[in-house]
Structures are given as C-alpha cells and as structure tokens.
Chains A and B, each alone.
Chain A
Amino acid sequence: MKRKLVVIGAGMASGRMLEHLLAADPDGWDITLFNAEPRGNYNRIMLSPVLSGEKTWDEIVTHDEAWYAANRIACRFGEPVVRIDRQARVVHSNRGSAPYDKLVIATGSAPFVIPVPGRDLPGVVTYRDLDDTNAMIAAARPGAKAVVIGGGLLGLEAAAGLRQRGMEVTVIHLMGHLMERQLDPAAGYLLQRDLERRGIRVHCRGSTAAILGKDRVEGVLLEDNTGYEADLVCMAVGIRPETRLAVDAHLEVARGIVVDDRMVTSDPDILALGECVEHDGQLFGLVAPLYDQAKVAAATLMGQDAAFRPVQTATKLKVTGVDLFSAGDFADKPGREDIVFRDPARGVYKRLVIEQDRLIGAVMYGDTADGSWFFGLIKDATSIAPMRDTLIFGPTYQGGATANPLAAVAALPPEAEICGCNGVCKGTILTAIEGGATTLAEIRATTKASASCGTCTGLVEQVLASALGDAFEKPAAQPICGCTDLTHEDVRRLIKARGLKSMPAVMQELGWKTSCGCATCRPALNYYLLADWPGEYRDDPQSRFVNERNHANIQKDGTFSVVPRMWGGVTTPAELRAIADAAEKYAVPMVKVTGGQRIDLLGVRKEDLPAIWADLNAAGLVSGHAYAKGLRTVKTCVGSDFCRFGTQDSTGLGIRLEKRLWGSWTPHKVKLAVSGCPRNCAEATCKDVGIVCVESGYEIGVGGAAGMDVKETERLAKVATEDEAIEIVVAFVQLYREHAKYLDRPYKWLAKVGLDWVRAQVVEDRASRAALVARFDLSQSIHQRDPWAERAIPQARAGFAPLADLTREAAE
C-alpha cells in the first residue's frame, strides 16, 4: 500500500525534494501538497528580474499544473495549514484536513517587519512572493517615489528593479555600509557609488522611526529626523524562519525548526527543510544548501542513509550591471593574511583572505570574472603557496614559469597602460628611461605617469626596477603607515582633489592595502575628512585616540583628568566654588593648577565623567579640550586693565580669541598667548600663535613652541586693531587646518611651507584671508559645541559605565 506523504509549503526546497523523491520512487507515495500561496512552486529568486521587467512570470514557474497532474500530486494551493495533530497524524488547513504517515514541513520564512507606527498602511509591502512583486509593479509609475528600507541583498534588488521602472528610489540602511553581511566596507562603498550613479539615493546609518501617511503611505521618517516622501515603501530588513506550526505542535524549535543530519525533526515522522530549519545552530537563506537538504530529505523518506553537510556559499547580486561577489569567511583573524588589489580607475576592488596557505574567503567588486575560480579554491582548500604572489591576478596569470610581480610587469607589452589618469603606457616610460630618467620624479616630470592620483606609483617603480635593475633605488618618501605608500601630504591633496568624503572612499580610491586601516592612519584620515568636509563627513569616534573619544585625558592608572575651560585664564569665585564642590563630591585625588592657566582635576573614574561634567556645566563651565588636537589654552597677562605697563587689553583679546577658536579640530594642539607689553608675562613668544601688544598695535608671531623643541615665534604681521589681529589669527589657524600633516605642530608645518607663503595667504591677499575666515566659521558652525554637555545627558551616560558587573555573581 502507498504511504501518505503530506508536504506543507510548495516552495523551492520542497519542490526540489519532490523531484528527487519522484525520480527514485515514482509509485511509493500518495502526496498531498499544501501551499499558503494560491499557486505552486516557482523560482522565487527570479522575482527580481520579474520586478525589473527583464523576465515574465511564466518564465519563472518551475512546476506547472501539468507537472503536478502527471505526478498525481494532490495540490491544495491557497490553503494554508493551521495545525498539526501529531497524535492523530493529521494536518488541518483552513478548509480541511489530511492524514499522513510522513510529514514534511517546508514553510520557508516570513519577512521581518519592523514594529514602527504606520507599518500597516496601504502602500507598505515586503518582498517575498509574487503578490508582493505585483504590488510593487502596480505602484511603479515613473516619477513616483519609493523608499526601500534595508540595504541587503533583497532590498537592493527591489531598489534596482523599481528604479528600472522609472521610480525615484531611496534606500535606507541601518548599518554603515550596504550588504554588510556579504561585503566589507570597501566593496560596500563601491556598490553604493554605482547605485548612486544609477540615480538611487542611499542613506546609510538610517534608523526608521515611523512610516507616515493618512489613508495610505506618504513618507518615511528617520530617527535623525530626515524625512523622505514615498508613494511606496518596501520593507526588506530580513527574514525569520516560519516556525509557527512547529512551535504549536511542540516540536523542538530554536531560531528555526531543529533538524538532525537526516532532516528529521524531534518527531521521527516529521521532516523539515528549507529556510524554516535550523541545523547545527545554523540557519539558511540561499538556495544552494537548501538543494542539498532536498536531496537528503528525499533519501531519508526512502529509508536510505544520507547526511546533510552545509557547504560554503557564494553571493552575487542580481542587478544587471553590478558586479559583486563574496564567498567564504573574510573576517580578520590571527594567522590570516589579506591580499588586496584596488584599481581605482576602473572601480575594481578584490580582497582575498588566506590562512595557512589556503584561500578561505574572497570579496570582489567591479571585476568578478575570477569569482568562480576563487570559490573553487576555497571549497577545495587548494594550497595556494606556489601561486601566492600572483594569486590576486586570477587564473590567467598562473602556471607560467614567472610567478613574481616584477616578472609580470616585465612581461607586459609596451602598449600596456600603466598610468590610467594620464594615459601613459609602458613603452612611453621605457622611452623616458632610455632618455636618461632613473627616478620616479624624473618619470613624473617627463611622462606625467603617476603624477596625478599616484596610485600607479608602485607599477611605475616596478617598470623602473625591471628596466634598470640594481641601478634603481626606491625613494624614501615616508608613507603614513604600512597601509599605504602615500604620504600624508599626498593623501590630503587627493582627498580634496578627488572629493573623497568617507573613510572607505579614501581607502578604496587611494588603494589602501588593509581592509580597515590601523591605529596610525585612521586618526589622521578622520581629521583630514573632518577638516575638509565639515557638515558632510561624520566624525568616527572609533578612529580617535582615547582622550578625544572620551573627552578627557587618560592617566597611567586608567582614570581621567578633567580640565574645564577658563577663558583667558580668568575665573570667578562661583566657578572656583563649582570646581571645589565637584572635586569633593567625586573625591578627586588631586586638584592642580596647570601650566596653561587653569585647573586640572586629576584621577576621575570614567563612569563619573558624565556626572562631573553635568555639575560643571551647571555652573557654566565647558570642556577645556585639554585632551584635543584642537585649541588648548589662550594664556593672557593682566594687561592695561591692571598693569602699570600694559599697553592694550591683552586679557580681553585673549578671551575673544579663545571664544572664537575653541572647539575647532586641528592637526595638532594649538596654544595661544597674548601679552600686554614686550615684558611678555604670558610667554607669547613660545606659542603656536603669540600676540605681543605694543603702544601702536599688535605684533602677531607664529610657530613658537616650548615642548620637545623650543622655538621662538616669527613675526607674521603687525596690525593696528584688535579686530584685524583676530581675523589674521583665524585665517592662520584655518590655513594650518587645511594644509598641515596630522601631528605636525605649526612650527613643523611652517618649516615645510615657508612663512612667506603663509604671509601671502593670510596677510597680504585680503580675499584669501576672508575666504579662510569664512571657511573656518563654517566649520565652527558645526564643530563649536561643548562635547561634555552632549555627553552629560542620561542617554549618553551608559556608554561610560561598564557593560556589566559580575563582581556580585556567585559561583554555582
């Protein structure tokens, strides 16, 4: 007698299982197939081409009526199963029931809907089945606006499809870069750039607060208060295994329905497969492993031995013209090494992750032709030791006798392009070498190769080395760190010239050799981006040194010091009282007068910082930035107000300067002083900027120092009025902000650019001075805010406290 098989869910996994079962055992079973959707099995992954109009529905149906009829399957489509009665071995649907000997649950997964207000409005759809797809197609009038929430695989395919149908599309993504589960930030950046070129707007780090609309959807509001108009909202933020039936039937369910290697659930007569299952702690969201499960489930039903073993999967995005590939494990771990290749001109990024001579992961963007070859190396765990040096160039470079990069360059034909920016080919460079050029600088001067973006510098050097042999010496320009060959100055210039506005953009376009930089380059890049793109670049606290991240100076025992601003070194009894109260309340171990004319509270515990700041804020005191690469102090002397020798109001000028400059980030710290007469009690002649007042006006000196080097200031200008003195100081600080290398104090920078050039920009050329001042003020409109006040609020305080306290946990 035939046994009764009931299958819940006519999706991709169960469809494949039925094919295997019927092929091996066509007459063994009476099969009943329930499906919640009013249709049979189709190729769900091809919904995206249907959405974009590149395919029709008929083309993606895998099992049609004729197929089900020929295999005598009782189809109950549009009839969701609502309950499994394990005792009676019967499943109940909304309309009837069916008894079983064996039951297979293949209910797939359900789209996750974020619980925000407005999620039920008409016009809000998810992206899972044909009905969703048709709803989107119906809404897609050209010019209408769509917002896609979720920048993963599904969301981006939806976005690209809707865009192709003429909609104005915005993608909102919670994370810092698109498809963060499959791509690293570099590849995510390239993807975003390509999508933006197609007219898709991308908003990363966007958290949806509400979906707005009266009778139907009208817009989406984010938590940062950005709003986007929308005629259609597609929510594609993730999926959850559809386990409700199994839970109600008291099968073992973790995140998914738990199955063993044979796809059997905790009930020996019930199997499960597809996206609804969890195997060995793992969930599945791509079809490749589901097809393996289908094979195993069919074998189990036939009483054969089979075991499911998850294999590596590779990801591609089905958006025409977007080329990306990711496979394996590309996390940084000890013992792993990266090989990174970037071709900024073509927008290509490739990263291979190697562990013990095996390739274990790959991410590629822009050129994925070698993807399947790399994927093969990953799956087969092939030893890559013999081809390591040229591995990144793909299979066409392998197998030759000359597996080294220099030989690869030597083998290039003369017409091979070396410098993409200036269109210089290898032959041109060789001609220049024959003409006597022996250094990179000479090649740059004669051919322009490597003279623009500079990323082909390494290649040009290899051409030189292969042509000249030992006669070529690599120049010793100091790169920022091991992550790049470029110097600080190169990077600053290129950030501006090429409009690079994010850290992944810099790392990609300038060919960084590591995936996320290091503790040397990240703070520098963070500063450059902050200084060059105020308003557009978002500060990255994780790329700041501890003191700037916590807005306090770390001490040798891990406590912090707190130094409030004391404008121009002037204070009041009320401020002193507030400082004294705070010192007592938080049991500050040392209260010290600093060399910068203010008071330091040393030894404060990190978790007390927000509270002590709140107390000081309440008395009108703000952060003194004693920890910052930014304005520190403006020391003053008593000046004409009290001193019998004072010629001008040095105290007042110092306070005005401090109020104008505080809060600005600079390449290194900046210290000022204003003395009321040439006796110079404020020590103005050894500050980054020092003003000495005289009867006839103000002498402005710059480039002083009194730390590791002692330097006397040099005269920048002498002016008659306070206002002009302030303008010149502001312009000078801005010029320094825009040009100096990170961690160069002004005196070091001046030694490189020369005081004359600086004087021309900030003193002589009035228009340039005004423009510098305007740019500084623009930046201050964003950066001049008290960081303590921003962190003294309750929501921010948690970040300063321990994540957990286990001191009171007892051992069992």
Chain B
Amino acid sequence: MIWPTSNWIDIGALDDIPRRGARVVRTAHGCVAVFRTQDDRVFALDDRCPHKGGPLSEGIVHGDAVTCPLHGMVIGLADGQARGADSGAVATHPARVEGGRILLDAARLIRGRAA
C-alpha cells in the first residue's frame, strides 16, 4: 500500500485561535499545538517542549516564537528549533490557512511513525 504524501484536513476556523495564541489538536501520536501569530500565520508543532516536555501551546507567543510555559525555553515556530543559548528541536507539521479555515497535513499524523 502506498501512503498518501499529503492529506490536508480542516481542523477549524482561524478565529478559533486567538492572535498570539494556540490550541491543540489531539492525534494518536500526542498533541499537536497549532499557533496563530499576530499577523495571522499558523504553525503546527508537537506540543512537547524539547526540555522537559512542557506544553508549548500554553506559552506566550511573540513574533514567530513561543516561550515555553514551564521553564522559559524559546522555540521558533517555523523550524521548531530552540533559540538563543538553548539547543533542542521539536517536530513541525505543515499547516496553512485557506478561506479562513486552518488545514493541517495530517498524512504523517495519522500514519505516524509507522511509515
């Protein structure tokens, strides 16, 4: 069987997420945090800080980064990389906005690490 390379799923309206905020999407492989920036871009990252697993969706969003709520690590939203002196990374997932709806490429999320 050939897995689809992309599988865009409508997960909700852009306005369901506040500007400079996030909501989570539950998947079989853990929660994915979907962020909305001040200027209405969306990013999807695993909701687990590389430091000690803090829920990034609960952090303060500034510019294109989020500060982890547990111990303050700053993670870039587009690349999932830790900023500044810290190191570590979290997985990112393709996301886009179309007609006010948020689409997530869930092919990987649904089939997960099995592929």
A interface residues, Cβ below 8 angstroms from B? 176, 184-185, 255, 330-334, 514-519, 522-523, 541-546, 549-550, 554, 556-558, 798-799, 802-807, 809-812
> How far is B19's CA from A332's CA once the two chains are assembled, in angstroms?
14
Across the interface, which residues of A come within 8 angstroms of B12, CB to CB? 803-804
Across the interface, which residues of B come within 8 angstroms of A802, CB to CB? 23-26, 31
Across the interface, which residues of A come within 8 angstroms of B106, CB to CB? 806, 809
Name the one of A334, A554, A811 contacting B69, with C-beta atoms under 8 angstroms.
Answer: A554
> How far is B23's CA from A805's CA once the two chains are assembled, in angstroms?
11
- Closest chain-A Cβ to B54's Cβ sits at a distance in Å of 7
- B16: Cβ under 8 A from any A Cβ: yes
Contact A546 B26 (CB under 8 A): no
Contact A516 B31 (CB under 8 A): no
Q: Which of A545, A804, A809 gathers most chain B CB within 10 Å?
A: A804
Count, A-B residue pairs, CB within 8 A: 119
Across the interface, which residues of B come within 8 angstroms of A809, CB to CB? 9, 106, 110
A806/B64 contact (C-beta < 8 A), A545-B69, A554-B55, A554-B70 known = no
Across the interface, which residues of A come within 8 angstroms of B70, CB to CB? 554, 556
Contact A516 B20 (CB under 8 A): yes
Contact B63 A806 (CB under 8 A): no
> How far is B37's CA from A724's CA once the two chains are assembled, in angstroms?
49
> How far is B111's CA from A810's CA once the two chains are assembled, in angstroms?
8
| Chain B, Cβ-Cβ closest to A176 | B19
Across the interface, which residues of A come within 8 angstroms of B38, CB to CB? 184-185, 332, 515-516
A522/B3 contact (C-beta < 8 A), A542-B18, A802-B31, A806-B26 known = no
Q: Which of A176, A184, A514, A517 gathers most chain B CB within 10 Å?
A: A517
| Chain A, Cβ-Cβ closest to B77 | A334
Contact B60 A522 (CB under 8 A): yes
Across the interface, which residues of A come within 8 angstroms of B25, CB to CB? 802-806
- Closest chain-B Cβ to A779's Cβ sits at a distance in Å of 24
Interface residue total, chain B, C-beta cutoff 8 A: 51
A803/B24 contact (C-beta < 8 A), A334-B78, A519-B59, A558-B55 known = yes
- Closest chain-B Cβ to A567's Cβ sits at a distance in Å of 30
Contact A804 B39 (CB under 8 A): no
Name the one of B62, B79, B99, B111 contacting A334, with C-beta atoms under 8 angstroms.
Answer: B79
Across the interface, which residues of B come within 8 angstroms of A522, CB to CB? 60, 62
- B11: Cβ under 8 A from any A Cβ: yes
| Chain A, Cβ-Cβ closest to B54 | A558
Contact B28 A806 (CB under 8 A): yes
- Closest chain-A Cβ to B112's Cβ sits at a distance in Å of 9
Across the interface, which residues of A come within 8 angstroms of B72, CB to CB? 519
Across the interface, which residues of B come within 8 angstroms of A544, CB to CB? 60
- B27: Cβ under 8 A from any A Cβ: yes
Contact B11 A804 (CB under 8 A): yes
25 contacts between A and B (CB under 8 A): A330-B39, A331-B64, A333-B64, A514-B62, A519-B60, A523-B60, A542-B20, A542-B60, A544-B60, A549-B58, A554-B58, A556-B52, A558-B54, A558-B58, A802-B31, A804-B9, A804-B11, A804-B12, A806-B25, A806-B106, A806-B109, A806-B110, A811-B4, A811-B7, A811-B107
Contact B26 A333 (CB under 8 A): no
Contact A334 B27 (CB under 8 A): no
> How far is B20's CA from A546's CA once the two chains are assembled, in angstroms?
13
Contact A331 B19 (CB under 8 A): no
- Closest chain-B Cβ to A27's Cβ sits at a distance in Å of 45
| Chain B, Cβ-Cβ closest to A542 | B20
- Closest chain-B Cβ to A415's Cβ sits at a distance in Å of 39
- B89: Cβ under 8 A from any A Cβ: no
Contact A334 B16 (CB under 8 A): no
> How far is B11's CA from A554's CA once the two chains are assembled, in angstroms?
26
- 14 more CB-based (< 8 A) A-B contacts, given A519-B72, A803-B12: A176-B19, A331-B37, A331-B39, A332-B39, A332-B64, A515-B38, A516-B62, A519-B74, A546-B59, A803-B23, A806-B106, A807-B28, A810-B110, A811-B107
Binary contact readout B17-48 vs A (1 if CB under 8 angstroms, 0 otherwise): 11111011111100100100111010000000
- Closest chain-B Cβ to A552's Cβ sits at a distance in Å of 11
> How far is B60's CA from A517's CA once the two chains are assembled, in angstroms?
11
Across the interface, which residues of B come within 8 angstroms of A550, CB to CB? 58
Across the interface, which residues of B come within 8 angstroms of A558, CB to CB? 53-55, 58
Name the one of B17, B41, B54 contacting A331, with C-beta atoms under 8 angstroms.
Answer: B41
> How far is B111's CA from A517's CA once the two chains are assembled, in angstroms?
38
Q: Which of B54, B62, B67, B99 gathers most chain A CB within 10 Å?
A: B62
Across the interface, which residues of A come within 8 angstroms of B55, CB to CB? 554, 558
> How far is B25's CA from A803's CA once the two chains are assembled, in angstroms?
5
- B76: Cβ under 8 A from any A Cβ: yes
> How far is B100's CA from A255's CA once the two chains are assembled, in angstroms?
12
Contact A334 B54 (CB under 8 A): no
Across the interface, which residues of A come within 8 angstroms of B34, CB to CB? 803
Give the 4 A-B CB pairs with smallest separation, nearest first: A519-B67, A332-B63, A546-B69, A803-B23
- Closest chain-B Cβ to A810's Cβ sits at a distance in Å of 7
Across the interface, which residues of A come within 8 angstroms of B102, CB to CB? 803
- B90: Cβ under 8 A from any A Cβ: no
| Chain B, Cβ-Cβ closest to A521 | B62
- Closest chain-B Cβ to A258's Cβ sits at a distance in Å of 15
- Closest chain-B Cβ to A255's Cβ sits at a distance in Å of 7
Across the interface, which residues of A come within 8 angstroms of B52, CB to CB? 556
| Chain A, Cβ-Cβ closest to B69 | A546
Across the interface, which residues of A come within 8 angstroms of B20, CB to CB? 516, 542-543
| Chain B, Cβ-Cβ closest to A185 | B38
> How far is B8's CA from A812's CA once the two chains are assembled, in angstroms?
12
> How far is B63's CA from A742's CA once the two chains are assembled, in angstroms?
22
| Chain A, Cβ-Cβ closest to B18 | A542
Contact B78 A803 (CB under 8 A): no
> How far is B34's CA from A805's CA once the two chains are assembled, in angstroms?
13
Across the interface, which residues of A come within 8 angstroms of B28, CB to CB? 806-807
Name the one of B19, B41, B62 contacting A517, with C-beta atoms under 8 angstroms.
Answer: B62
Across the interface, which residues of A come within 8 angstroms of B58, CB to CB? 546, 549-550, 554, 558
Name the one of A184, A549, A811 contacting B3, with C-beta atoms under 8 angstroms.
Answer: A811
Across the interface, which residues of A come within 8 angstroms of B62, CB to CB? 514, 516-519, 522
Q: Which of B12, B60, B106 gathers most chain A CB within 10 Å?
A: B60
> How far is B36's CA from A57's CA once the two chains are assembled, in angstroms?
44
Across the interface, which residues of B come within 8 angstroms of A185, CB to CB? 38
| Chain A, Cβ-Cβ closest to B36 | A542
Q: Which of A184, A333, A541, A554 gathers most chain B CB within 10 Å?
A: A333
- Closest chain-B Cβ to A173's Cβ sits at a distance in Å of 14
Contact B26 A807 (CB under 8 A): yes
Name the one of B53, B78, B111 contacting A333, with C-beta atoms under 8 angstroms.
Answer: B78
Within 8 A of A (CB), among B64-96: 64, 67, 69-70, 72, 74, 76, 78-79, 81
Contact A542 B21 (CB under 8 A): yes
Contact A807 B27 (CB under 8 A): yes
Across the interface, which residues of B come within 8 angstroms of A805, CB to CB? 25-26
Across the interface, which residues of B come within 8 angstroms of A515, CB to CB? 38, 63
A334/B76 contact (C-beta < 8 A), A516-B63, A519-B59, A802-B26 known = yes
- Closest chain-A Cβ to B53's Cβ sits at a distance in Å of 8
Across the interface, which residues of B come within 8 angstroms of A554, CB to CB? 55, 58, 69-70
Across the interface, which residues of B come within 8 angstroms of A518, CB to CB? 62-63, 67
A543/B60 contact (C-beta < 8 A), A802-B31, A810-B110 known = yes
